[in-house]
Structure 1
Amino acid sequence: MKTHFIAIGGSAMHNLAIALKDKGYQVTGSDDAIFEPSKSRLEKKGILPPEMGWFPEKITSDIDAVILGMHAHQDNPELAKAKELGLKIYSYPEFLYEQSKNKTRVVIAGSHGKTTITSMILHVLNFHQKDVDFMVGAQLEGFDCMVKLTQDNDFMVLEGDEYLSSPIDLRSKFLLYQPNIALMSGIAWDHINVFKTFDDYIEQFRRFVASITPGGILVYNEEDAEVVKVVEDAENYFRKIPYKTPEYEISNGKVYLKTEMGDVPLSVFGAHNLLNLEGARHICQTLGIMDEDFYEAIMSFKGASKRLERVEREDKGTLYKDFAHAPSKVKAVVKAFCEQFKNEKKYGFLELHTYSSLNPAFLEQYDHAMDGLDHAVVFYSEDALKIKRMEPISAELIKEKFKNENLKVFTNAEELHAYWNTLDKTQGVYLMMSSGNFGGLDLTK
């Protein structure tokens, strides 16, 4: 099968391209910019575009599938040529469904926790040598590529994202998967550039639940009121399995899960991660993994990339980075960090980087998000606001919306870096939360 990727360099797109190459497909692609690690990984597989840009002449009538990434625009010249030739154009999730429509599809959804839960499930299955197809949005220890597609596997585990499918397909990605088994971890308003009201956002999850195949299974977080309401209002037929935070304790800095089989030591921490773990356990049960086998495997799970990930520093200081940027994620991560290091001086840094987090109307969702930290810092780039054509935000407004008068606010990367350099990283513990990079800050030094 001959496939062509428009915007092949994206974190998700390049993994799919590699998976198809490994499956034996003929793969080509284009992009106007490709960064690491996508660039090296595509080059290693021999599918890195020889030059950057869009080339309509690459689009020929013998292409079986054109896969369109979100990075491309509606007026992309290669997309126009594909339409002109009448080629089949897939969004990323649409193509994944096409590859898995004869398999049992397990879809993990939710505003937060979906990457970690998917990673936990894959870790356990891999530990017990249970082979499945999969797609997950973060790098996971023990896996070379974050997409796997085969002819023979019976199951496919998919991280289900509620964001748009492609520039020409404005459906939420997870609406295309039609899960046989699903999990919903939580609902907290996000992506306000797309979903203008909270009800618009919740509607995507209502539709997701409605898309579960008849007689399927939904594992859901019974501690989340919005999730419970969506599940209770559902009119289609499926089996409902609730889960909640399991009992645990912290002893000498180590987290122990309290189970009928005794205390299980873990390599992750935070109540939100224990809740994620419980959801993963229930999904693994539906896939034939007994609890004792789940606990044996989960002890060695160290977390998904950038999810409370310990950074090795030259000075041996204690620093964790997390992808958290949405309010619900920030609150959960800060709470976990403060609980884990309650006897240490705690420094927390948050970069407001996304369209939603930089929108003044959305900032009130961050109320008390940084509470519990001894020193809290918020950074956002005025240049980022200009690029997004958004109005400036004052430091006073940030403090007001966060309801934290002691908050330090930086809008200039050089000033943030200068402050960072005044801190002795061997004293106290540090939490860095961002989907960006704090203006190029090197966290290892």
Structure 2
Amino acid sequence: MTFPEILPYSNNKTRVVLYTSQFSIAKLVFQVLNFSGKEFDFFLINGENQVSDNDFVILETDDAEKAKNFEPNIILVSEEIGDEHLVSILENITPGGVLVYPESKEEIVEKAENYFRKLAFSPSKISKSGENFVLHTDLGNIPLVSKDEILLKNVNGIQLLCQQFGVMEEEFYEPMMTFE
């Protein structure tokens, strides 16, 4: 399905955008949602997709124009995304929608004139233990298999995004421990 075909297909669904250049973010989101039994359709940058009759459709993109035109109900902006296209994306979030964004982009987000929930996240607290990373959370320290530092910096945002699907903190961290 091409992007112009995705728009009418997604019209009556909850549209979720993963605005990121880190492909591992979508993989982690999918692992968490699958672990929690959540059903969703998706379209990935690499052309992979799953189309069925689910209420949620996830679009992974690093293209600001696609993110804007998708008119997301929920959007995660990852830490490494530049600020230059953010304003046009914010203008197209569905009224009452949800934006999950790095707190470093607070100044831009606060200038948005349309109404949506704003959930800022700080970089995750991680440390190195030998060759492995440890994620420091309110629930305690969680040993991780993943060595993707950019992904790990976005974990708090990914967790906030997954909450929008009804995945609570404990449910989030269990699949996180085995994610490579």
TM-score (norm 1): 0.38
**Residue 31 (structure 2) pairs with residue 126 (structure 1):** no
Residue of structure 1 equivalent to 2:95? 214
Residue of structure 2 equivalent to 1:161? 62
Residue of structure 1 equivalent to 2:109? 231
Tell me, what secondary structure is at the counterpart of 1:150?
coil
Residue of structure 1 equivalent to 2:25? 117
| Partner AA of 2:55 in structure 1 | D
Distance 1:270 1:149, change over 3 A: closer
- Aligned mates of 1:149, 1:177 — CA distance in 2: 16
- Aligned mates of 2:38, 2:150 — CA distance in 1: 26
Among 125, 149, 170, the alignment partner of 2:51 is 149
- Aligned mates of 1:95, 1:126 — CA distance in 2: 26
- Aligned mates of 1:99, 1:301 — CA distance in 2: 31
After the TM superposition, which residues 46-445 of structure 1 pair with which residues of structure 2 at under 5 Å, given as runs?
A: 92-110=2-20, 112-113=21-22, 115-138=23-46, 146-151=48-53, 153-162=54-63, 172-185=65-78, 186-188=80-82, 202=84, 204-223=85-104, 227-302=105-180
Structure 1: where are the runs of 5+ without partners? 1-15, 17-91, 139-144, 164-171, 189-200, 303-445
Residue of structure 2 equivalent to 1:52? none
Identity of aligned residues (%): 36
Q: CA deviation at 1:260?
A: 2.3
Give the paired residue count.
Answer: 179
Higher relative contact order (CA 8 A, sep 6+): 2
Tell me, what secondary structure is at the counterpart of 1:288?
coil
Q: CA deviation at 1:287?
A: 0.8
| Partner AA of 2:128 in structure 1 | I
| Partner AA of 2:60 in structure 1 | E
Deviations 1:388-445 (A, max 9, x none): xxxxxxxxxxxxxxxxxxxxxxxxxxxxxxxxxxxxxxxxxxxxxxxxxxxxxxxxxx
- Asked whether the 8 Å contact 2:106–2:120 carries over to 1, the reply is no
- Aligned mates of 1:260, 1:270 — CA distance in 2: 22
| Partner AA of 1:149 in structure 2 | V
Tell me, what secondary structure is at the counterpart of 1:213?
coil
- Asked whether the 8 Å contact 1:109–1:182 carries over to 2, the reply is yes
TM-score (norm 2): 0.90
- Asked whether the 8 Å contact 1:120–1:277 carries over to 2, the reply is no
Tell me, what secondary structure is at the counterpart of 2:154?
helix
Tell me, what secondary structure is at the counterpart of 1:173?
helix
- Aligned mates of 1:299, 1:100 — CA distance in 2: 32
- Asked whether the 8 Å contact 1:179–1:212 carries over to 2, the reply is yes
Structure 2: where are the runs of 5+ without partners? none
Q: CA deviation at 1:104?
A: 0.6
RMSD between aligned residues = 1.9
Q: CA deviation at 1:206?
A: 1.2
Deviations 1:114-153 (A, max 9, x none): x322221111111222111111225xxxxxx8201112x1
Tell me, what secondary structure is at the counterpart of 2:179?
coil
Larger Rg: 1
- Asked whether the 8 Å contact 1:118–1:280 carries over to 2, the reply is no
Residue of structure 2 equivalent to 1:56? none
Tell me, what secondary structure is at the counterpart of 1:255?
strand
| Structure with greater strand percent | 2
- Aligned mates of 2:130, 2:81 — CA distance in 1: 33
- Aligned mates of 1:277, 1:95 — CA distance in 2: 31
Q: CA deviation at 1:298?
A: 1.2
| Partner AA of 1:103 in structure 2 | K
Q: CA deviation at 1:270?
A: 4.6
